[in-house]
Structure 1
Amino acid sequence: MTPVLQAVRLGKRYGRHRALADCDLDIPQGRVIGLVGPNGAGKSTLLNLSCGLIKPTEGVIRVLGAEPAANPAHLARVGFVAQDTPVYGDLSVADHLRLGARLNPGWDGALARRRIARIGLDPKRRAGRLSGGQRAQLALTVAAAKRPDLLILDEPAAALDPLARSGFLDDLLEAVTELGASALLSSHALPDVARVCDHLVVLADHRVQLAGDVVDLLAGHVRITGARSDVERLPAGVEPIRVEHSPGGSTAVVRAERGPLPAGPWRVDAVDLEELVLSYLTRANEGTSRPVPKPTEAHR
């Protein structure tokens, strides 16, 4: 099956500023992908490259098997919700649906009207008078009614209150399920990513630090706790990601490259998604990161 997103040594510069470098990705179809990382890591740049809004400086990117925005047919297969869920403030909800129908040959008017009715939006109400959560829902509706194979969302729920964000995430999952689509979601909110995403890409220092299906990533990492001398002498094939020392002992999040961690003089505990992401971000911030395994290596 053609990957939903594939990148080989992908890089992007804006003048002298490097936004992305040496990014390798191979993401299967049918995933809800969480894209996380600190501000300035290159998340929006990767999304804009995926939409064809900008071109790479080096390397190759393929979305749904083709160059992004290669032609009108390919554009129709991708739905994009940019930061701040942009809508036209002077247009009504109904105007947005009419505009969507004119611009998109595969427009599903029944889906759009059904979603608008279910979330309780007044078709006559101007978008500028909607709440933040309602604008986000309208933007998602317009993107979903294209019936794309891939939905790309750049921090769509960042400005929403907890209740509105919860409703938006529920609707996102429902839309992806109804469409049979993949989704690429950029977010700073790790609980949101843990709730809806089954594939993860961690960007930091303009590079991919970690990528893979969430189940596999969690199974391949553990937290060990023990004496400092023991934690500092890990067996071959066990890579420390983040290590913390204290007078009472040491704790390390580690990746076992060759399967389950061998028995040793330490306690072993599972890690959750938030701890895993923060460990890789901390390592990148300290300047001790190593290149992420290539997709083919990571799945061996």
Structure 2
Amino acid sequence: MNVIEASALGRRYGSTWALRDCTVAIPAGHVAALVGPNGAGKTTLLNLAAGLAAPSAGDVTVLGGRPAGSPMALDGIAFVAQDTPMYKNLSARDMLHLTRNLNRRFDQQYAESRLGELGIPLKRKAGKLSGGQQAQLALTLALARRPRLLVLDEPMAMLDPVARHDFMASVMMAMAADGVSVVLSSHVLAELERVADYLILMSRGRVQLAGEVDDLLASHRVLTGPAAEADRYAERLSVVHARRGEAQAHLLVRATADEPVPPGWEAHPVGLEELALAYLREPAAAALPGPDRARRRALPSETGRQTEVSK
């Protein structure tokens, strides 16, 4: 079963397409990481899947074919937004009461017990809680609905490292205990490398790469060798991204572990963060055929410049 399935999906605001020709299928049972720079279309895709916006083109279904935004779909999805919106003047207990009255299914006992374990006082106003506590309150409200799909749109953006770790630990526990599928949008690649087992890379309103993390990592590696020979080998390799100094070149290529390494070169495994950054630097690499991709990716020279995903 696919928890989110989009076909030629698009969303336009005026003359600007925030998401265009998006086709992707995210299977159940994963922590799926949605990665891309600002303006890539991540939030738009999640809003469309959660029924918070209507598509301008194409269609999207959730939880095995239910139309996004339909009553059947909404019952099975819980959504936590980046700024964890809630009524700041209401207490945590009031937020539980409000959420229970707005939803057909809500586990009040679970919610109160979870907040007690986290040391979050039910009498304290939401606006008086720390950033980490507000995020945990929002997550508790979502999990108490007993969803089949938990959608998280950059919920850790404003959290410190300890709060981020605790938040993700709570998500993983919920997934293990209740079988919840998770789709998580985040810029914090180091955190995603620790928890995600499915990856969707987005850039310029389109999906660039999608698949299980283990499969994607197994089909890529980094080749290190003499810079003078980089162009010659790039003609024969599917190069995603090239970084080259005066003496040495580093080529991230599509290749499996059993493919031969060029003489004088060394092969190294690639990590999730390195893979994601390579495709975000070179978004056209996902669409180009092998030889054309190789020529376009490898010829420019780089000098050790590092790029981070924009927040």
2-structure distance, mates of 1:111, 1:292: 49
Are residue 68 (structure 1) and residue 64 (structure 2) matched?
no
One-letter amino acid of the structure 2 residue matched with residue 253 of structure 1: L
How does the TM-score come out when normalised to structure 1?
0.90
Give 2:182's aligned amino acid.
A
Distance in 2 separating the partners of 1:212 and 1:260: 20
Where structure 1 has 5 or more consecutive residues not aligned to the other structure, the ranges are 294-300
C-alpha change, 1:226 and 1:199, in structure 2 (3 Å) is same
Cα gap change, 1:292 to 1:229, in 2 (>3 Å): same
Q: SS of the residue aligned with 2:239?
A: strand
Taking the TM superposition and a 5 Å limit, the aligned residue runs for 1:121-270 are 121-228=120-227, 230-234=229-233, 238-256=237-255, 260-265=258-263, 266-270=265-269
Tell me the equivalent position of 1:298.
none
- In structure 2, how many angstroms separate the alpha carbons of the residues matched to 1:292 and 1:198? 25
Secondary structure of the equivalent of 1:94?
helix
**Taking structure 1 as reference, are residues 195 and 259 closer, same or farther at Cα in structure 2, changes over 3 Å only?**
closer
Q: One-letter code of the match for 2:70? A: A
Tell me the distance in 2 between the aligned counterparts of 1:290 and 1:114. Answer: 46
Write the distance in 1 (CA, Å) between the matches of 2:142 and 2:237: 43
Provide the rounded CA distance (Å) in 2 between the counterparts of 1:230 and 1:55.
51
Structure 1 residues 11, 291: closer, same or farther in 2, change over 3 A? Answer: farther
Structure 2 counterpart SS, 1:193: helix
Partners of 2:91 and 2:61 lie apart in 1 by 36
Which position in structure 2 is the counterpart of 1:30? 29
Deviation at 1:232, TM superposition (A): 2.9
Moved more, 236-245 or 99-108: 236-245
Q: Name the % identity.
A: 45
Checking the alignment, whether the CA contact within 8 Å between 2:209 and 2:286 is kept in structure 1 is no
Does the CA contact (< 8 Å) of 1:210 and 1:292 recur in 2? Answer: no
Query: CA separation in 1, counterparts of 2:268 and 2:183?
Result: 30
* Structure 2: unaligned runs, 5 residues or longer: 290-311
**2:282 aligned residue:** 283
1:82-121 matched pairs, under 5 angstroms: 82-121=81-120
SS for the counterpart of 2:251 is strand
Residue 39 (1) aligns with residue 35 (2): no
Report the Cα offset of residue 233 of structure 1. Answer: 3.8
2:61 aligned partner, one-letter code? R
Deviates more, 1:124-133 or 1:236-245: 236-245
User: How many Å apart are 1:55 and its aligned residue?
Assistant: 1.4
Q: Report deviation, 1:23.
A: 1.6
Tell me the TM-score normalized by structure 2.
Answer: 0.87
Mean Cα deviation higher: 52-61 or 41-50: 52-61
